[in-house]
Amino acid sequence: MSGNTDKHIMRRALKLALKGRGHVSPNPRVGAVITAPDGTIIGEGCHTHFGGLHAEAAALKACDGKDTRGATIYVNLEPCCFQGKTPPCTTAIIKSGIRRVVAAVPDPDPRVNGRGFAALREAGVRVEVGVLADEARHLNRGYFSARERGRAWCAVKVALSLDGKMAALDGESKWITGPEARKLTHALRADHDAVMVGAGTVRHDNPQLTVRSVRGPSPARIILAPHFGIPPDSKLAESAAQIRTILVTTETADPPGADDKTIELLRMKENKFGMIDPEELLSRLVDFGIQSLLIEGGSRVLSSFMQADLIDEISVGYAPSVIGQGISPFEDFNPVSWSGRPRFRIARIKHYGEDVVITYNRVT
């Protein structure tokens, strides 16, 4: 098939993979499409929940008796080659008579990492890798970050006035951007394993941190509170039995809410400044099954992660208003040097009503 055809069908596989959002982690999001030798789609599927069928097996099952000999399977991640909760996908592909595998990227899992492709090639299956690789890596950016860097992917979302303020001096900040841009916040939450704010944001804004304006699962909620807890009458505490809620505090603190059995505790050592080390936190979150984190505030939390140069992506909603004297999102950030300051490049620009949302990716 032509390169354009391969890209078109791979985009279908990526779209299918999104159906697993919020349900498959810490497994990757994977979609698969099978085409007959004449290019007709005869089966497709995705990994829908942790422990369930892998995308390749689901696509083969969807073929429902159709002849798969000589077929091509498109998949956004290298097929697995080991026995886990389900049998190896490479074995199923080989037995099906599929003769061509088009994959976006290798699987960084050390149990796979090229071995899946090798097993297929050894069985005489033609393997092509690299179709829409960047899109595939972004789809599973948390999965790749956890396996390649040993830490969760770290994204930030802020709403700013034209003069770069996220709140007035008294802390008032509600609805800087309009309803269209606020829907993006909910979409971002649904796309990450967890959303995090500081204790000050909980006390001042009393947020829910749930997904409401779009379809999708609510992520785990994390409160970074080295010396504070969660007010028992807060929306987070009241809904902790329904939505996973994690309180990050120090090893010696005895914060309010620490004895609440519906709230998970992640205790960490204080650094030399009496705070939680951001890099260690991102590493520890992987052990909690959290591979992608969205930080929504406040300024001290955002500044600490920027200071540690750990922010991978920033989505900024700019509203056509001016606050004047107010609070900047990185108020406490102090770069080590001008040349060593964190750098970002524009990845996407989109209008939402009267607002503009720009997404920036970290320059590595």
pLDDT for position 173: 64
Active-site annotation holder among 44, 56, 78, 296 = 56
pLDDT in tens, the chain (364 residues): 567 899 999 999 999 999 999 899 999 999 999 999 999 999 999 999 998 999 999 999 999 989 999 999 999 999 999 888 788 999 999 999 999 999 999 999 999 999 999 999 999 999 999 999 999 999 999 999 999 999 999 999 999 999 999 988 876 667 789 989 989 999 999 999 999 999 989 988 899 999 998 888 999 999 998 877 788 899 999 999 999 999 999 888 877 666 678 999 999 988 777 789 999 999 999 999 999 999 998 899 999 999 999 999 999 999 999 999 999 999 999 888 888 889 999 999 999 999 999 999 999 8
List, for residues 294-321, the tens digit of each pLDDT value.
Answer: 999 889 999 999 999 999 999 999 999 9
The answer to whether residue 78 is catalytic is no
Q: What is the 3-state secondary structure (H, E, C) of the chain?
A: CCHHHHHHHHHHHHHHHHHHCCCCCCCCCCEEEEECCCCCEEEEEECCCCCCCCHHHHHHHHCCCCCCCCCEEEECCCCCCCCCCCCCHHHHHHHHCCCEEEECCCCCCCCCCCHHHHHHHHCCCEEEECCCHHHHHHHCHHHHHHHHHCCCEEEEEEEECCCCCCEECCCCCCCCCCHHHHHHHHHHHHCCCEEEEEHHHHHHHCCCCCCCCCCCCCCEEEEECCCCCCCCCCHHHHCCCCCCEEEEEECCCCCCCCCCCCCEEEEECECCCCCECHHHHHHHHHHCCCCEEEEEECHHHHHHHHHCCCCCEEEEEECCCCCCCEECCCCCCCCCCCCCCCCEEEEEEEEECCEEEEEEEECC
Q: pTM of the entire structure?
A: 0.92
What's the pLDDT tens digit per position in 67-109?
Answer: 999 999 999 999 999 888 788 999 999 999 999 999 999 999 9
